[in-house]
Amino acid sequence: MATDFKSLPVIADISPLLLKCDDPDMAEDPGVIQVVQQLDRACRDAGFFYVIGHGISEDLIKKVREITREFFMLPYDEKLKIKMTPAAGYRGYQRIGENVTKGKPDIHEAIDCYREFKQGKYGDLGKAMEGPNQWPEKPHEFKELMEEYLRLCTDLSRNILRGIALALGGSPYEFEGKIAGEPFWVMRLIGYPGAPFTNGKLENDVGCGAHTDYGLLTLVNQDEDKTALQVRNLGGDWISAIPIPGSFVCNIGDMLKILSNGVYESTLHRVINNSPLYRVCVAFFYETNFDAVVEPFDICKDKYPEGRGESQIFKRAVYGEHLVSKVQTNFAM
């Protein structure tokens, strides 16, 4: 959104940041400084970037997509055993067309999972999201694999955010404590049917309409042989996130936009699966604490989005309220 980028920035090796991310003096390390500069540029220019050298094995990343594909290939009755309902805290399986973006059904099916928390922990704010995740019994060991993946994605996201905190001019720990010391997370396992042939032509269904993500940072694990995710630039062109094997596509969410006073934007994106093949994407959303009150960091209060003068000061939000308002309007049930 922020510039007229024609392709998405690539952080070709994020490992120098990860190596030092537990060192309180990381900000002085030349390797860290380099990665932080790249993160800053990518977040300002596009709000989207590829990350390579992240340390999560390509084998696991693939397995997570493959087991997700196996689940979606099961008979509908089997999938309905873990049907998502409001009573289940919006956790579970939703059929194609059940998710709605800006009034239009999205042509995808999905399993939604959220961090689990004790009943009553967040009072009325958390009620809508309470409940255990609904994991399928088939394929075998689905839950175990996903839980390992969730742990790794949580650690990686926290560590990337240490770099982003430095990029914003803060200490590495701006996102810890009250903001995201107990990060809420969301995982969406998504399947997009192949584009149907109509009158001998491939029709393009909208797999997911244009939206921004809700939290801090998203890690997208997408099929390597289909190009479907598209990101909108300043001029309104849709730029494809062409798969780079073994990478994550990362993007900024609404809470990071507020925290950074709009210096980093949560960029609009959508999904159109042009391929005749079924596409799988596993999106991990690293969010603030569920009850975090989010407003611009002090270190960002005198910073403004590039090229817009001093006109944009962003509002305050409670993350849980933002999420619940989205979830409650996301489904046609």
Ligand X SMILES: O=C(O)CCC(=O)C(=O)O
Chain positions contacting ligand X, by CB under 6 A: 188, 190, 208, 213, 220, 222, 229, 269, 271, 281, 283
Instruction: Look at residues 130, 124, 108, 110 and name the one whose alpha carbon lies nearest to residue 184.
Output: 130
User: Under the criterion CB under 6 A, does residue 326 sit at the interface with ligand HRG?
Assistant: yes
User: Under the criterion CB under 6 A, does residue 208 sit at the interface with ligand HRG?
Assistant: yes
We find the least distance from the C-beta atom of residue 100 to ligand HRG, in angstroms, to be 6
129 makes contact, choosing from ligand X, Fe ion, ligand HRG, none, with CB < 5 to 8 Å by partner type, with none
Which residues, other chains included, contact 163 with Cβ-Cβ below 8 Å and sequence gap of 6+? 14, 17, 21, 32, 35, 36, 39, 172
Instruction: Look up residue 129 and give its two tokens.
Output: 């999201």
Stretch that binds Fe ion, among 11-19, 211-219, 296-304, 313-321 (CB under 5 A): 211-219
Residues 83, 252: contact at Cβ < 8 Å? no
When the beta carbons of 130 and 213 are compared against ligand X, the nearer one is 213
Q: Could you give the CA distance from residue 329 to residue 264 in angstroms, rounded to a whole number?
A: 26
281 makes contact, choosing from ligand X, ligand HRG, Fe ion, none, with CB < 5 to 8 Å by partner type, with ligand X
Stretch that binds ligand HRG, among 51-59, 161-169, 211-219, 262-270 (CB under 6 A): 211-219
3-class DSSP state for residue 72?
helix
Q: Could you give the CA distance from residue 271 to residue 171 in angstroms, rounded to a whole number?
A: 35
We find the least distance from the C-beta atom of residue 34 to Fe ion, in angstroms, to be 28
When the beta carbons of 175 and 286 are compared against ligand HRG, the nearer one is 286
Instruction: Indicate the DSSP class of residue 261.
Output: T
Per the document, the length of the chain is: 333
User: Under the criterion CB under 5 A, does residue 213 sit at the interface with Fe ion?
Assistant: yes
Residue 163 Cα distances to 189, 226, 322, angstroms: 27, 30, 25
Instruction: Look at residues 137, 176, 174, 170 and name the one whose alpha carbon lies nearest to residue 154.
Output: 176
We find the least distance from the C-beta atom of residue 48 to ligand HRG, in angstroms, to be 14
We find the least distance from the C-beta atom of residue 48 to ligand X, in angstroms, to be 10
User: Under the criterion CB under 6 A, does residue 285 sit at the interface with ligand HRG?
Assistant: yes
Residue 103 Cα distances to 97, 100, 162, 230, 265, angstroms: 11, 6, 37, 20, 24
- Considering only CA atoms, give the Rg of the chain: 19
Figure out which of the listed residues 83, 115, 143, 211 binds ligand HRG, where binding follows CB under 6 A: 211
User: Under the criterion CB under 6 A, does residue 115 sit at the interface with ligand HRG?
Assistant: no
Residues between 173 and 192 with contacts to ligand HRG, criterion CB under 6 A: 186, 188
For 47, other C-beta atoms within 10 Å of its C-beta total: 29
Stretch that binds Fe ion, among 68-76, 113-121, 207-215, 307-315 (CB under 5 A): 207-215
Chain positions contacting Fe ion, by CB under 5 A: 213
Chain positions contacting ligand HRG, by CB under 6 A: 99-101, 186, 188, 208, 211, 213-214, 285, 326, 330
